[in-house]
A and B are shown apart, each in its own frame.
Chain A
Amino acid sequence: MSEYIDGELGESVCKDVEDHLTTCRKCRFHVDAVKYTIKMFDEWRADDVPPDAMIRLRGRLTDETGCLFAFPVDKAMRKASAAKPARKKTSGKKTAAGKEAARKKTTGRRKTARKKTTASKKTSRGRTTARKKTARKRTSRKKSGSRKAVREK
């Protein structure tokens, strides 16, 4: 059946299968369900590398090989610089209470959340939330990345 779905069957066998599928409801259900399953995974976890992950990759490559790499500048920096002006335009909307609530929310990962505050305090509410979330992720990744580097050494 998988070979039929992948179009790997010879022409005559394929035709036999198709003839069978027109009459057999059970097999048709089976084939459709498998096709649907594969389709469901088309866009599964299809995100690009987060820009900050590229910067950490460059750091680790440099640490471990002693060579200087420049790759993140291309993509990651361009993304970051494209995003920055938009954030600055909507400055001054973040309230002190909002900041406090945000800090409470990120307990346990405060270090980077606070680092990011300088950047995020000038942004609008929606933007800030999104940034905080990535900031939180960055923290954990940063930690595991650096821990890893130490362990490797």
Chain B
Amino acid sequence: MAEKKVDLKKAGDEELVTLARAENTRAFDELVNRYQNKIYRLARRMTETEEDAEDVLQEAFVKAYKSLGGFKGKSRFSTWLYRITVNLALMKLRKRKLETVPIDQPIETGDGAVQREIEDSGMDPLEKMIAAESRAVLDAAVQDLPPGHRAVFVLRDVEKLSTEDTARVLGITVPAVKSRLHRTRLMLKEQLIRSAAARGIPLPVEVGPPKKRRKRRGKSETLIPEGASKARRVNLG
């Protein structure tokens, strides 16, 4: 294989793709190094378990390597790779949707049940408890989202992609991203407030429902039905 003297660390993604296409595995190594954590985090956020996330990570890079020839450079390499990852994760998520295991459900083993353990992070017990509780709240809130909405939320609000990039990754229009994102944010907000209250996790005071209004309207502020959120949007102009 005739290899050019290219500094792989400094080469652009597209240049690395060109090299990797010519079976330069070092170039693909560099791409893996650049994107491994991003892809893993995206997979972790899009799926329910670490095992699924790892499967998605593996499948995404395998698929990317095998289909490098199909990468035409119309979008950025990162967008293309994100697209592969999200599609694999969505498949995994849809498959798992019906068989989710609550975090506090004991693991069944041959010799009896073993309690699921939360990863040790070196925090003191109270801190650890609060962190685990908040994580459980976030996990639970996201778990109930329709997969397509979850993808938009993860890409836009967690991965901080632009609306345009999110649309490109998911192959949907910008207005579709915006409307899904808006709906998802409302759903999550309600879910979070509800489950945080149920678990006794304190929320910032400002987020607490304005009591006067609640009385006057005779409705709970923490439970915003579809119609009410529309009314609010109108209110905001």
Residues of A within 8 A of B (CB): 1-4, 6, 8, 13, 16-17, 20, 24-27, 29-30, 32-34, 36-38, 40-42, 44-49, 53-54, 56-57, 60-61, 64-65, 67-71, 74-75, 105-109, 129-130, 133, 137, 140-141, 144-145, 148
Q: A32-B207, A48-B40, A70-B25 are in contact. Are A41 and B138 (CB under 8 A)?
A: yes
Contact A34 B62 (CB under 8 A): no
State whether A109 touches B109 (Cβ < 8 A): yes
Contact of B181 among A2, A44, A53, A140 (CB under 8 A): A2
Given contacts A37-B185, A44-B135, A70-B25, contact A29 B209 (CB under 8 A): yes
**Complex formed: what's the CA distance from A64 to B107 in Å?**
32
Determine whether the beta carbon of A74 is less than 8 Å from that of B25: no
Residue on B nearest A54 in the bound complex, by CB? B36
Whether B4 is near chain A, meaning CB under 8 Å from some CB there, is no
Please measure, in the bound complex, the distance between the C-alpha atom of A63 and the C-alpha atom of B36, giving whole angstroms: 18
CB distance from B179 to the nearest CB of A (A): 9
Bound: A140/B116 CA distance, A:
13
Cα distance A3–B192 in the bound complex, in angstroms: 21
Verify if B99 is at the interface (C-beta below 8 Å from A). Answer: no
| Set A2, A25, A42: member contacting B182, Cβ < 8 A | A2
Is B173 an interface residue, CB under 8 A from the partner? no
**A94 smallest CB distance to B (angstroms):** 17
In the complex, whether B61 has a CB less than 8 A from a CB of chain A is yes
B residues in contact with A29, CB < 8 Å: 206-210, 221
Report yes or no: B25 in contact with A69, Cβ–Cβ below 8 A: yes
Q: Which of B26-34, B72-80, B83-91 contacts A (4 or more CB under 8 A)?
A: B26-34
Complex Cα gap A109–B233 (Å): 52
Point out which of B26, B50, B54, B192 has the most chain A C-beta atoms below 10 A from its C-beta: B54
| Inter-chain contacts of B54 with A (CB < 8 A) | 53, 56-57, 141, 144-145
A109: chain B residues within 8 A (beta carbon): 109
- Chain A residues in 8 Å Cβ range of B50: 137, 141
